[in-house]
Amino acid sequence: MNRAELHEGDVLTRRYVLKERIATGGMSVIWRAFDRALHRPVAVKVLDVSLDGDDPGRELIRREARATAQLIHPDAIEVYDYGETVTHGGRIAAYLVMRLVEGRSLADRIAEGPLPWREAVKIAAGLAEVLAAAHDRGIVHRDVTPDNVLLAEDGPKLHDFGIAAFVGEDDDQLVADFGTPPYVAPERLRGTTADPAVDVYSLGVLLYEMLTGALPYPETTWEAIEKARRDGPPPTPRVPGLPTAVADLCRECLAADPAARPSARTVATTLSSVLTAAERPPEPRARAAGWVAALGGAVALGSTMWLFPVVEAGGGTGTRPPVTPVLPAVSAPQGAGSAAGHAPPSPAPDGVTRSPEASAPPSAEEEGDAEWSALPQEREPRAEDAAQPARQLRKNGGRDPATPSFSLAATTEAPIIPPALDEAVDLFDRLVDAAEAAGRIDADVALDLRQLLHNAVRNGTGVRDVRDKLESRHREGRMPGPLKQELERVVRKVELALSRAG
């Protein structure tokens, strides 16, 4: 169809007044318009081909209307209406009426260069949420590209469901050659049925491109992709400061095997967790120092520790000036104190030996240092150090979380969870919570899984019971297979974190 056949001021089906052409694509033109019946601005997407012959345009735009009408999500641009009109040239043109969203194309943003990793992750997380909602309704988008993402003030919006299909549908001849080659999953070239994994692959390409400003693979045409051999693991985005969890997830999304890719729900949950962790304020220095003390590392005499809350004899908590912990059976070389120009430490009335340097509080400049910069220096461990009482960080137990207490008793304590393990356990909980909220598992199954994993971490007994429970619940038909695979993947992360912590 000749694009000049529609003009500003034209009225489609006596209702939609065309105001301004705002975008053009290979097969369509998008207009800013006004709905005279409901008195609201809308966007009208007019198919830019004639419907007189065998052109597939009518079926494509109908597909888009049907798919989008079933997807109710704030970050998917919904369709209000479908119609056909006769142009000035006497041709029939199909059109969609959609919600009007102001913004810019993600493609335009990427053209300016790589995005800061937090911005890229936030966009990818939003798109993953939309795709997860679509997949829950059995819809596969199949064309997730920067051109089909609109960056609005309230977040990214996914549109153009023109070649969408329902899960399990064959990749028919109508849309077999449609799509944008660099973002097309390799299995689509084999004519497989529609599967959510193809959208996850496209999202992985999009995330990689946002982070690096380049595509993960050089092939940009159908012919090049068909000839390409992608041996070895997918590429990893190399970006300064990028959390390892994001780089690993991006690589998993690009896996050649669809079964090895995470679900869109897992992508959304993981990326959201990373953003939450990145926005969390730094923990107090006392907690960082407590970590080192709890690890049992021997410290050099004379190293200054920061202010520690302690348990008083009467059971309450109080504070003491910074002290140098005294390790049993450890002595400094004779004359070391005088050679350095310092007096040897002297016992205080409370029985704790203090270093002369420890009496001054840290300066403002020191307080601004990185958490680990002012921690005690390490020395070679000695056998007699085993007698040193462990100092472990307790749960705050109703006290001010900024001033946790430390136990000086060598009793059995709950183990301190390293950050990587903490994040893995949190991800497991989030996935279980999301599955319960979506009705994918019952409440008793969710509670059982959470308790099993937390007990395994607390007792250090390993994750075998968790794996067995996932298998049995799946076998009983109380857990979908894809969810089982997602949780098993996270359990593996917990297992690796436990082995590193041990």
Radius of gyration of the chain (CA): 30
Rounded CA-CA distance 82/98 in Å is: 9
Look-up: residue for tokens 């694009």?
3
Q: Which of 48, 75, 81, 143 is catalytic?
A: 143
Residue 341: phi, psi to the nearest 5? 85, 20
Work out whether strand 346-347 and strand 317-319 pair parallel, antiparallel, or are unpaired: unpaired
> What's CA 357's distance to the chain center, in Å?
45
Question: Contact, 15 vs 37, CB < 8 A?
Answer: yes
Give CA separation, 135 vs 140, 144, 396, in Å: 6, 13, 42
DSSP state of 56: T
Question: Contact, 181 vs 227, CB < 8 A?
Answer: no
143 catalytic? Reply is yes
**Closest to 483 (Cα-Cα) out of 47, 136, 9, 1:** 136
**CB pairs under 8 A, 24+ apart, for 439-448?**
440/479, 440/480, 440/483, 441/473, 441/478, 441/479, 441/483, 442/478, 445/473, 445/478, 445/479
Rounded CA-CA distance 222/367 in Å is: 57
**Catalytically annotated residues:** 143
